[in-house]
Amino acid sequence: MTFSYHIASTQDDALRRIADAGVLPVAGGTDLVPCTEEGILAPTLVVDIRRIPALRDISATAGGLRIGAAATIAELAAHDAIRARFPVLAEACGSVGTPALRNSGSLGGNLVQRHHCWYFRRGVGCFKRGGTQCAAVEGEHQYHGIVADGTCRAVHPSDPAVALLALDARVEIVRADGRVRHVDIAALYDGASRDPLKEAQLEPGELIVAVHLPAIGAAGAQHWEKVMQRGAWDFALVSVAACRRTDGSVRMAMGGLGLAPWRVPDSIEEDVASGGLDEDSIDALVERAFYDMEPLSGNDYKRVMGQGVLKRAIQAISAD
């Protein structure tokens, strides 16, 4: 697979070029390049967006933060304001892959990366390759999802997306005609089950320019945990991002369970926010949270592990 390469100097330059069919934005290339080798993407031209200053900028907004989409995962993990006020995101970023990946990979690319299901990546004719079944259901599926929606059982690979869901982040998306839209991070992935051919709900020619962290998610109690099979350089078997905000409300999201980062049901969040939970009531809550999960024959451990991880998160954000 060969393609041409252009370094964009401005956002307008990038947007003008990616408006054409077959042209894709690229930042670190850590997912785009493997996807071209695996026959998942076939760009004729890639447009490097890393030299556009506005896309690298991380700046304060009214009590929140605006993070340029080409900022690297390492920059987010080390950023003073993110570490101080949105630590769950800094920790999630710090747990991504390896130092080399964190230094190359961008936030935007991380959110748009394709699933790492081995059937999909190796060209098996599954839902994600236009087929009519999920090969994981009858095959090897120990790393696949336990959230069942009747289609693909791949799990979303992004750690930052899980933290962003717990922070109620919004994504700023621009297209060449100047149209700007802001969507909740949940909406970015809403539809992954309806259309397994794509995970992030972006139209051709659209560029994520920034992610906004609202003030409501700053500070309070925040907790991140990621369980991996290896000690490092691995995707999450299960992860959790949990926040008790300064107004007392609670947001909890989990990774490694489904096609998209999974938001814990709001009735559970509300019970956690009410407080006064002893160990038995937390056990009952986490069991309720996982009630609708449908593990496959070889990944029920994710249900058990997920309940344990969620229990620790509830205890952590409930501690005085």
Ligand X SMILES: Cc1cc2nc3c(=O)[nH]c(=O)nc-3n(C[C@H](O)[C@H](O)[C@H](O)COP(=O)(O)OP(=O)(O)OC[C@H]3O[C@@H](n4cnc5c(N)ncnc54)[C@H](O)[C@@H]3O)c2cc1C
Residue ranges that bind ligand X, judged by CB under 6 A: 24-32, 41, 49, 69, 73, 96-97, 101, 104-106, 108-110, 112-113, 157-160, 202, 207-208, 235
Amino acid residing at 125 = G
User: Which of 260, 207, 255 is CA-nearest to residue 69?
Assistant: 207
Nearer to ligand X, 106 or 193 (CB): 106
- Which CB, 177 or 247, lies closer to ligand X? 177
Nearer to ligand X by Cβ, of 201 and 315: the residue is 201
Residue 169 near residue 213 (C-beta atoms within 8 A): yes
What's 215's DSSP letter? G
Give alpha helix (H) positions in 133-238: 135-138, 159-166, 185-189
Smallest gap from Cβ 276 to ligand X, in A, equals 35
**Measured on CA atoms in the order 144, 145, 146, 152, is the torsion positive or negative?**
negative
Minimum distance of ligand X from residue 35's CB (angstroms)? 6
CA distance linking residue 89 with residue 77, whole number of Å: 7
Closer by beta carbon to ligand X, 182 or else 288: 182
- What's the closest the beta carbon of residue 89 comes to ligand X, in angstroms? 12
Contact 211, 169 (CB under 8 A): yes
Question: Considering beta carbons, is residue 114 or 251 the nearer one to ligand X?
Answer: 114
> Of 108 and 306, which has the nearer Cβ to ligand X?
108
- Taking the complex as a whole, the smallest distance from the CB of residue 74 to ligand X amounts, in Å, to 10
Shortest distance in whole angstroms from residue 121 CB to ligand X: 11
Closest CB to ligand X: residue number = 109
CA count, 13 A, side-chain hemisphere, 250: 23
- The angle formed by the CA atoms of residues 266, 147 and 211, to the nearest 5 degrees, is 60
The span from the CA of 288 to the CA of 266, in Å, is 12
Minimum distance of ligand X from residue 210's CB (angstroms): 9
